[in-house]
Amino acid sequence: MSNTVILAEKPSQARSYVEAFQTSTKKQGYYEVSDPVLSDNTKITFGFGHLVELATPETYDSKYKKWALSNLPIFPDKYKFIVGSDKKKQFNIVKGLLNEADTIIVATDSDREGENIAWSIMTKAGVNLKSKTLKRLWINSLEQEAILDGFKNLKDGWNYYPAYQEAQTRQISDWLVGMNGSPLYTLLLQQAGVKGVYSIGRVQTPTLYMVYQRDLAIKNFKPEPYLELNAQIVADSQGFEAKLDPYKRFKDEKQLNTFMDDKNVQMGQQDGLIKDVQKQQKKTSSPRLFSLSSLQSEINKRYHASASETLKAVQSLYEAKLLTYPRTDCNYITEQEFSYLVKNLNQYLKLVSNQVSLNQIEPQARYVNGKKVQEHHAIIMTKTVPTTEKLNSLSKLEKQVYDMVLRTTLAMFADPYEYEETTILTQIGEALFKATGKVPTNQGWKLLFKSDTETSKDKADTILPAVTKGQAVKAKLSADKKLTKAPVPFTEGTLITAMKTAGKTLDDEEAQAILKDTEGIGTEATRANILDGLKKRGYLVTQKNKIHVSEQGITLCKAVELEPLLTSPEMTAKWEVALKQISQKQRTQENFLGQIQRFIEKLVAEAPEQMQKSESLTQQVATQKTVESEAKKEAEIGICPICKQGKIVDKGKFYGCTNYAADQPCKFTLPKKWSDKTLPKTAIKALITKGETAKLKGFKSKKTGKKFDAKLTIKEGKLSFDFG
């Protein structure tokens, strides 16, 4: 009897498949399932994401346990893959099932990383794949209908082998850069007098460097004054403002006066003439559908959520069967998705309070284009329309994400936003001044976002009076003094876009049209993790949604800035192109890893001398030491009242003595919270310096739950109440 095993990526994914089938029996580490779409004797098993991982350098040779420049570069002849001790039990279950199977259905996430997870498990398990039938489940939704349809239409598993090769090459190349670059720069910085471990990454380092360059541009920016010549026009007692056409800035009054003399105009009141009046009916289409990056960017802009928070929310909505597959870089859907959206339009529309007509029920190429959908389509709603109860059970961010995808998808069916654009050209002397006004004639899709669109304000700001060509008017010229503006700091949203465009600044919505054809750095699946890693390591800091590089991050940037391959987004983007060529069978894994090895050899050979000669790095090291020293003093609350030698410092979840690591450690600590009250820093300081606090309010009794007031004191090295 034939034996089929379905390999899922993680337990939750396996459960989604199990729920779609008619019957199932739970076993240790797998399920037995049956359904008309499955062959007899089918089991579903699962990994915990990456069951199999690349081994660390010391696995190859114990000398790598201690970092040393003499050990670099590290290039294993053959890469070792290991199973973590906490995952061995499940791996052995999966291994047994796969080896017994006649047919294996790869049902991990439908992307390159999913291939890597599945093939790594199968390879490590020693499965003789040539003797098996290998199939692939490829779906965009975890709804029952989509799952069953996917199992009815399984693809040939071998077709996805090149995608695994690409993902594994990315994994190995990142390992090579990290395992060589991190010890190299850490040891060189330690030689320069900087403490700590520094992390280098193929994608994370150029990402950090982009933020560093932006911060540098802001810091070095010097605002320059300029003058702008504007006209206040009055026609039949109605006024409007007009700007010089073509627009021009003047660096000083002398330049402005020369221009005015040439054009026969002067400051103040003078006569003018309406030279031309143009009226055009214009339309604006609704925003493009969301890829993961554009959704992360929009949610960050509106709600200040981080890229990883948004990804977590979209993943959760995908697993709840409400949104389609999240890790997509595509802004298009196929006619198949368009068809089910049309059928469910009225149901979706009930989820938004705005009254809007959805008349566009024929597919438009701006949104629907099967040729542009390669692996996954844009993020849209599934056929499952949530109940009010279901929506209320979602977290705040999940609701915001679902609502944003819902409105943006519905907007594709609404009329375009239409407006009449009036352009008035006024001649004053020999100079022309232009005024442009917009009057909405059909709000169209904008009604779906009405809470965000101050339409009445737009109208008040943009209506121009009725004038005719050749009409005489009065004009008053004035020069406005202005200053050039500094570049704006990155937010996580704009940084995600910058990663996707390899540093090219594309902020406007229309840029989405070309993003798909632009090679960025990182992938849709990894960018959020890259930013998270940079923040966790303390290289990037977020202040009011704006991202900046820390002193530690600046030190790293100054250390790597002479190696363009480590800092250039364009070069990293070329690597991404080369990696994609592996899955397209245009390049081999050996070819790419050979390139990476040559790069690392260059790095190991050149970095020591570069860093020794770098004056800016020497200055930065001194700056960082000063900053760290001041931060250390700031963190010190006072001398330890117990050992009288160490200092009491903030250790995160509690306050403790710096003498803890000495030969005779002092174990004195103070909590940050005591009897349900968060202790203010002033109280901690008083305890350390005076031995007691003033009377504090808001303590809560564990027995009765009642609140009470008391002093705090230190008795025999312990914190206690003083009710005296």
Which residues carry out catalysis? 325
Q: Which of 29, 342, 327, 6 is nearest to 150 (CA)?
A: 6
Q: What are the structure tokens assigned to 561, written together?
A: 């800035």
Cβ atoms 31, 24 nearer than 8 A: yes
Count of other CB atoms within 10 angstroms of residue 678: 10
Distance from the first to the final alpha carbon of the chain: 83
Environment class of 33 (CB within 10 Å of its CB; exposed 0-12, middle 13-18, buried 19+): buried
Alpha helices in 192-291 (DSSP H): 204-219, 253-263
Segments of 560-675 assigned E as strands? 636-639, 647-650, 654-657, 669-671, 673-674
Count of other CB atoms within 10 angstroms of residue 346: 9
Packed helices 569-583 and 589-613: angle between N→C axes, nearest 10 degrees:
160
DSSP 435-458: EEEEEEEE-GGGGGGGGG--HHHH
The SS3 call for residue 257 is helix
Task: Report the amino acid identity of residue 574.
Answer: K
**Between β-strands 238-245 and 225-235, what pairing exists: parallel, antiparallel or unpaired?**
antiparallel
Task: Report the amino acid identity of residue 20.
Answer: A
3-state secondary structure 73-110: CCCCCCCCEEECHHHHHHHHHHHHHHHHCCEEEEECCC
Cβ atoms 100, 1 nearer than 8 A: no
Question: Which residues contact residue 586 at a Cβ distance below 8 angstroms, ignoring those fewer than 6 apart?
Answer: none
Q: Which of 313, 296, 330 is nearest to 493 (CA)?
A: 296
Environment class of 364 (CB within 10 Å of its CB; exposed 0-12, middle 13-18, buried 19+): middle
Q: Which of 245, 273, 263, 249 is nearest to 432 (CA)?
A: 245
